[in-house]
Structures are given as structure tokens and as C-alpha cells.
Structure 1
Amino acid sequence: MQQGYVKSHIEHGINTIEFFHPQSNSLPGKILEALAHEIHFAGTHDDTKVIILKSAGDKTFCSGASFDELASITTEAEGLKFFSGFANVINAMRKCPKFIIGRIQGKCVGGGVGLASAVDYAIATDKAELKLSELAVGIGPFVVGPAVERKIGTAAFTALAIDASMWRNADWAKRKGMFAEVHESIENMDDSIQRLSNTLSNSSLAAMAEMKKVFWQGTEHWDVLLKERAAISGRLVLSSFTKNAIEKFKAKA
């Protein structure tokens, strides 16, 4: 992958999946496709006991959808295909029988909030702020919305989605239940991730798989729901409002 990558590394039953993109760890279609593939593979891989999902760098966990790709969408079919990439990643995380620990070292925007919501246990630093910015560019958090709402509740999700320009800090995210832990440094966060992943790698695979089914009970319809939501985003991204908003954003970057 010329711009960005997804790679995985397995050691002592711990499968670390890392993604990177030079534009603040944004998510173009190729990275979304590779993430869904790696998560699915880790879920079926016998040597994998637990998964860590992380991004490279120390500032931004994930800035969400690639604005370059959003700007290049010209048909509803292209829009559906792009936003279905987010649906595929979230559904892969949902259906994966292994626990996924999220390493949230920095800011989460849009689809990045969706990833942080879809992990089973998020461990963050106090620099990990959140923003659902979709409405600011004329769309909405339709695909990631079910994952965010499931994690933090309808009221908090609504607040995030409506006030699309306001950052919420890591303490807010912890109080709402998105982050299980918040640490003052990357070192402390990584120590906690190492401790938990080591513990889980020596726990019962069968028990954890059954627990995961219970945790995600009631989401069985998401294969259909998230694709329907992707179609909404795919239609709205074609509007002149969205095209203009994306161009203004890119001009500032």
C-alpha cells in the first residue's frame, strides 16, 4: 500500500493489528478493506487468543474517512461502496469471537470514534479527545452511529452527533463508558494494555467467545442495517453542500 498500511503481528497469543495513514491515520477504502480482512483472519486464527487494535504515531488515533476519497465519489454506487468499508470493519469487529482491546493514544474523529466504540475494551490516554464531525460536512454518523450509541447511550451519542464541531475530552468518554481506562501517559497506557492482554491470552477461549456473544446480543441485524446506513451516507456525500465543505476543509489542511 503506497500510502498507509495495515499490518499484524502475533506473539504469545496476542495479535496486534496496526494501521497507519500519513493524513492523521485517516481511512481510505484500501485501509478499511485491509482492516476488515485482518480482523476476520485474527478471529479465525487458532494462535490468536486476544487482539489489540492500534494505530501508528502518538497524536491521532484515527481522523476518520479519507477526504480525498470522499471528494472523488461521483455516484451513489461509489458512495455505497466507500461507506460500506466502515460497515465491514465494524461488523468484522462485532462478529469476531476474540476480545479486541483498543489502544487509543490520541484524537478520534468521525469513523475513528466508530472504531473506538466497536472495540470490546478501550484503553486510552488523556489526549484522546472525540468528535463526530460528519454533520459539519453535510452527512452524518450513520454507519458508525449504532456502534457509538450502543457504547455510550442515545443521549451522549445524540450530543456528539448534533454538536459536530465540539471536542469531548477523554474524561467525558470514560464517564460515558466509551473508554474503560484513561492514563496520563502512553507508557502507562501500554503497561495496562500489556497486563490485560497477557491475562486474556491465558484465559479460556471458549468462555471469552461466549461472553462476546452476550456483549453483542441484539446486534445480529447489523449486517443489513449498516449497509442501509452506508447507502444514506453514499447519497448525501454527493450534495453540493458536502462537496463545498470538503473542498474548504482540504484548502485549510
Structure 2
Amino acid sequence: MEYTKITETPSNHDNLEQMDTATLLQKMNEEDQKVADAVAATIPQITKLVDALAERFEKGGRLFYIGAGTSGRLGVLDASEIPPTFGMPHTRVIGIIAGGDTAIRKAVENAEDDSVQAWKDMMEHTITDNDVVVGIAASGTTPYVLGGIAEAKKKGLLTAGITNNPGSPLAVAADIAIELNVGPEFLTGSTRMKSGTAQKLALNMISTALMIKIGRVKGNKMVNMQLSNSKLVDRGARYVSEGLGINYEKAAELLKKHGSVKAAIDAGA
């Protein structure tokens, strides 16, 4: 397949080792400012994915992220934050990384080159027709991701690909291609930088919009968040206070009694 692998093209900056610290940081920041625009250009594709996800979630479907290296870690991170933020079971948004959980902290040699392992990893979760698989790969060529997407499509699942190389094999293979063209990296080929940042923004948008669409947010508040520490209990009490127009002490009592912001507000309404 002929396409330009933008993530491997030379940086717009050279002689980095000769720059002073302030210049290094300024030039990195200049590159980072291109990221939001690159994500904005993909909003139509993200919209299509979120709407399809919401429809399938209502039928019991799940969201799977698959990736390797930085991309895999970002998928695991996004999935891991859904239960505490939105009170959803950890089984509804699932991040899978090549090499398993060990690879979250330490690279697992050759794990990303295995084109059949991603589907094996997903099969541990008993895949259904309503599940959606999102492959994440800056290069758009990672065998682990491509193999998982190909097998998911064969089984009739909806697939999406998040990549930083437009026209890459992942973009072509997935039903919905989210092509985050951030240009060359500040440090040539280091996709943990702009490419990873763009992926993080897109994942935030996908999961947050999905949770809003399926009713896990009220107004602009995380009314289903887990009250797992004192900071979150305090935040929850404030949400209840604001939602019902009552003082903090009364709100805290309601929250303690009902166990969630949504239940407390519903009970006090």
C-alpha cells in the first residue's frame, strides 16, 4: 500500500541538542498547538462512532480499545477511568494492550507484531454482535491492531481506527477512520508526543460523549461517579447541594443515605 507515513517524516526542527531549555520547550509547545486542530478535523468521524456506540450500548454492547505501546496504554487509561468517573462496571469499556498488563509499565518485546493475539485477548470477554472495537495505532500498521480489527470485521462487529497516518492500513481497514494528522513529531518518529496527545483527546471525547449520551451525566455533573475518597464525597455533596438548592450539611446527609449523587438528587427532588 502506497501512502506517506507522516509519523516518520523528519521533524520541523533540527539540532535539538544545541537548543537551550526554554527554546526546546517553546518549540515543543508550538508543535503541540497543532494537535487540537487535527482532532477538530475528525469530529464528523468521532460523531459517527459515538452515535453508533450509544445505540449498541443501549443493547448491552461494550467498547473495546486495542493497541500496543503508547497507543495501547492510552486505551487502557481511558477505559480504567470510566468506572470511577461515571459509575459504569469495568466490563463495559475495556482496554486491551499487546503484551497484557505487564506492557502497561514495561515494553513487552515483539508483542505488537503478533497479528492473531488481539482477537484471542478479546475472546476472553465473550464477544457479542453489539460490541465495538476501536484499534489505536499512530503508525496505522501495527499487526496486533490490524489483526484484531480484521477478525472483528469478519465476525460482523463495528470497527473504528484511530491513527496519525491518513490512508494507512488501519484507516483503510476500519469501518470508521479517525485520522489525526498532527504532522511530523518534534522528535522525529516519537509518537508518544503529538500523536499520543491527539489520541488522548480523541479518546476523552469518545468515552465522555458516550457516557453523556447514555444518561450517566446530569446537567454538567458526574452524578454517577464513585464516592471512593473524601475529595469525591465532598464534590458529591456540593453537587447535591447545587442540584436541590439545599445547604451543604443536608446535602451530605442525603448523599450518605443514598450512596450516589443521582440517587440523592432523585430522592430529594
Q: Tell me if TM exceeds 0.5.
A: no
Q: TM-score, normalised by structure 2?
A: 0.30
Larger Rg: 2
Q: TM-score, normalised by structure 1?
A: 0.31
Going by fraction, where is strand more abundant, 1 or 2? 1
